Structure 1
Amino acid sequence: MDKIAIIGLGYVGLPLAIEFGKKYSTIGFDINPTRIKELQEKKDKNEQILDFSSSSFLKFSHKEEDIKDCNIFIITVPTPVDIYKKPDITLLLSASKLVGKYLKKQDIVIYESTTYPTCTKKECVPVLEKTSSLVFNKDFFVGYSPERINPGDKVHTLKNITKITSGSSEESAQKINSLYQSIVDSTYLAPSIEIAESAKAIENAQRDLNIAFVNELSIIFDKLDIDTHEVLKAAKTKWNFLSFTPGLVGGHCISVDPYYLTHISNVYGYHPKVISSGRLINDMIPNFITQKTIKLLLQHKINPLHAKIAIFGASFKENCKDIRNAKVFEVYKELEEHGIKVEIFDSLVDAKEVKKFYGVQVFPISSLKKQYHAIIIAIPHQEFLEVNYQKFLTSNGLIFDIKGALQRNQKNIYKL
């Protein structure tokens, strides 16, 4: 009987541990003792999983020796980019070294962390071999099954999305595919690890480019004084028009994964134009929002130096508490640099985490009392759609509804 170790218990690892723990002896491992204590008490700060009761074969641990008897290791650690937008696979290599210490003959290591094509075999496997003193594809085998977790999404879950699988040998690929078939509704067995890696890399790059297109449209139509959302509404009447809306592009995937693709492309001597341009456009949107906000203040005869602004939303997307790479803080800091007083409201996110990672105080929506010269709806959580914003605006104030989520029957409302 297989014994599984899940290395990393964040947004990706925890759902996996829960599902595998229903059928297999499973160790959910994380180096953070606080995270383990929380999960042992059947609590999840990310509020992804509320029911641990059916995972009767699951145990959580931060002690690495607890994974020594496992024969299948699934690595689900974060793979961010550094300040220069270069892939940072430090945690991936550290996890590989940890697993390598306990790797035995015939064991399988499966990577779920997003990375660039060729990384699994060229970067991770050498670490496994060196640490374990075993030979790849003779003594042990690897696979790649890209994560497709969408934080905050209650519809597209681990169980009902199609899971891409792959393995370093025909036998290991079949074994890995069967393993995932036992916990999800459907799988797709890719011909190679590199193809599975590449499929993951282009999924989010494609979405990034589509959003970049409508973001660039919003810049063009802003100069023409044309309502971008009305243009998109009209265009969507054509049956094959793809529906995307302009806005901030942050988070752990869409704003990160394209850099992994451009990185490996550059290594092999090709400098991608379209992908890089899409990233450039989406990265400039916080500045565009800042400049448009100042422009709107001036149009309303409000001196920006004396303005007070409330921003709603501190996560990277609506109805989600994930603050990783949330672009709203770039808007916040740019406005402050222009001498504007800014406050952020969001009842979903963990205010302590925001303070720790961004150095910004976030207030719950219940503390909204005073009036502001401008209100920016940056991330339209469901609870924000019910607020009567006119109560909290000065007589000449305005609402900047970035994603066009509010009803248009409110006065002085603008969209991206």
Structure 2
Amino acid sequence: MLQELLGKIENKEYTVGIVGLGYVGLPLMWTFHSNNMPVLGFDIDTDKIESIEQGKPYIKHLGQEMMQKLSDSEKCDATTDFSRIPEVDALLLCVPTPLDHHREPDMQYVEKTCLTVGENLRKGQLVVLESTTYPGTTEELIIPILESKSGLTAGEDFYVAYSPEREDPGNINFDTGSIPKVVGGHTQEGIDLACALYDTSIVETVPVSDTKTAEAVKITENVFRAVNIALVNELKVVFSEMDIDVHEVLDAADTKPFGFMKFVPGPGLGGHCIPIDPFYLTWKAREYEENTRFIELAGEINTSMPQYVIDQTLKALNAHKKPLNDSDILVLGLAYKPDVDDMRESPTFKILDLLEEYEANVSYYDPHIPEIKPTREHDEWTGTKSISWDKKTVEGFDAVIISTDHSCVDYQQLAEWSDCIIDSRNALKGIESQSDIHFWKA
């Protein structure tokens, strides 16, 4: 059976099913389609399916041209009908793995997806989880569900692998196809089949010994970033008290050609990976009676940064002899990183919440997010619209907090329109103003 499936992959007659067509699944669909592989996408969101059918972009940085090509292609389809699962040869699961309110893994999306897949699973199919998760998920959670619902045996009747996504939305230097893919399998056959599939469309596959090792690779990548970002965030607070510009320090340190890697401080962590994934390992480590002190300390520092921004805002307003209570505050940037419309886990939401707690009058501006769509944790902001960007509107605010430094914003213009700006992103570097302005680096 394996040789027959490998032959289908080589002949590009192997249909790739992708479950979850969001920031991971949609680029993956495009990558396989671009390499002439037949693709069938699955999602419970009818709006996404209609957008693909009509060639309309719903993730801004992926663009109109890509969506139109997916829509026009005879080798690409998308559906909400999961009974079509038997039509595909592989199922790549790209579903959310958030934290619950106790900061523990919320696996409901993975579990529900596996239940549905198991009910429709047929012999010979490959199932690959791409969502970031704790080591052991594939063996301990996914395979038992698939086997119990299908009556089939993993490694004999169907194949299982784990290959973590490495998406970086908006990164113009790398896309899905140009980022090496780590692959771990439930069996050697699972590794071989998954590697052969990804080799059709990804620049390089990196096989590792098993699924839990591949799961640990992704967690390690994100822990590394979370800890180092926490370090520079802590340095930012300390150096600020010493009247030292942390950005100048980091720029100078970055000239060292070895032994240093530059990370940049900010108002907190955003995106689906770094604020969440390290805590999956923390949770799993407790099962082995081990502590993850670095991870937990990093989490404390990073989650404290929105409050630090508010503290700096209080100081800035005080310098203007104004209270935060009843002041009109503009938060610039809702997306978690520059130049994308991705607001998952954005620290801006926490800043908005804190401002409301202080009874400030809060508005936001984000050229990439004209209106806040429903989210899993911030439904109270759903429907809120971005203000218009003009002199009269911006001048009406008592303070402006730069939470995300979109490159399309004219910061010189902002400096001329506002006399109280709290800059959490070093966006005002090199900007000068003729007015009596207070730039507060938060």
Which residue is equivalent to 1:268?
Answer: 288
* 1:39 aligned to which of 52, 68, 79: 52
Question: Is 1:175 matched up with 2:193?
Answer: yes
Aligned-partner Cα distance in 2 for 1:66–1:196: 29
Matching of residues 389-408 of structure 1 within 5 Å: 389-393=414-418, 397-408=419-430
Which residue is equivalent to 1:327?
Answer: 347
Task: Describe the superposition over 1:307-335 as per-residue Cα deviations: whole angstroms up to 9, x where unpaired.
Answer: 32211001111111011111112112212
Structure 2 CA distance for partners of 1:354 and 1:363, relative to 1, 3 Å? farther
Task: Describe the superposition over 1:33-68 as per-residue Cα deviations: whole angstroms up to 9, x where unpaired.
Answer: 121111111122112253242754111111112222
Which residue is equivalent to 2:204?
Answer: 186
Question: Which residue identity lines up with residue 439 of structure 2 in the other structure?
Answer: I
Question: Is 1:382 matched up with 2:402?
Answer: no
Aligned-partner Cα distance in 1 for 2:411–2:248: 22
Matched positions, count: 413
Which residue is equivalent to 2:380?
Answer: 359
Do the aligned partners of 1:347 and 1:365 also contact (CA within 8 Å) in 2?
A: no
Aligned-partner Cα distance in 2 for 1:168–1:306: 58
Tell me the SS of whatever aligns to 2:398. Answer: strand
Which residue is equivalent to 2:359?
Answer: 339
Do the aligned partners of 1:27 and 1:66 also contact (CA within 8 Å) in 2?
A: no
Structure 2 CA distance for partners of 1:97 and 1:350, relative to 1, 3 Å? farther
Structure 2 CA distance for partners of 1:163 and 1:355, relative to 1, 3 Å? closer
Question: Is 1:13 matched up with 2:25?
Answer: yes
What are the ranges of 5 or more consecutive residues in structure 1 without an aligned counterpart? none
Q: 1:197: Cα distance to partner?
A: 0.5
Task: Describe the superposition over 1:318-372 as per-residue Cα deviations: whole angstroms up to 9, x where unpaired.
Answer: 1110111111121122122223222111120151406994433231443563322
Structure 2 CA distance for partners of 1:89 and 1:234, relative to 1, 3 Å? same
Aligned-partner Cα distance in 2 for 1:49–1:191: 37
Question: Which residue identity lines up with residue 402 of structure 1 in the other structure?
Answer: S
Tell me the SS of whatever aligns to 1:68. Answer: helix
TM-score (norm 2): 0.89
Question: Is 1:153 matched up with 2:171?
Answer: yes
TM-score (norm 1): 0.94
Task: Describe the superposition over 1:112-167 as per-residue Cα deviations: whole angstroms up to 9, x where unpaired.
Answer: 01110001110111000110011122222200010011112232100111111121
Aligned-partner Cα distance in 1 for 2:205–2:219: 18
Q: Percent identity among equivalent residues? A: 31
Do the aligned partners of 1:307 and 1:373 also contact (CA within 8 Å) in 2?
A: yes
Aligned-partner Cα distance in 1 for 2:319–2:416: 21
Do the aligned partners of 2:411 and 2:427 also contact (CA within 8 Å) in 1?
A: no
Which residue is equivalent to 1:415?
Answer: 441
Aligned-partner Cα distance in 2 for 1:318–1:373: 24
Aligned-partner Cα distance in 2 for 1:200–1:402: 28
Structure 2 CA distance for partners of 1:345 and 1:6, relative to 1, 3 Å? same
Aligned-partner Cα distance in 2 for 1:153–1:267: 36
Tell me the SS of whatever aligns to 1:80. Answer: coil
What are the ranges of 5 or more consecutive residues in structure 2 without an aligned counterpart? 1-7, 9-13
Matching of residues 9-408 of structure 1 within 5 Å: 9-22=21-34, 23-47=36-60, 48-50=62-64, 51-52=66-67, 53=69, 55-240=73-258, 241-247=260-266, 248-353=268-373, 357-360=378-381, 361-366=384-389, 369-370=392-393, 371=395, 372-393=397-418, 397-408=419-430
Aligned-partner Cα distance in 2 for 1:42–1:189: 35
Aligned-partner Cα distance in 1 for 2:190–2:255: 47
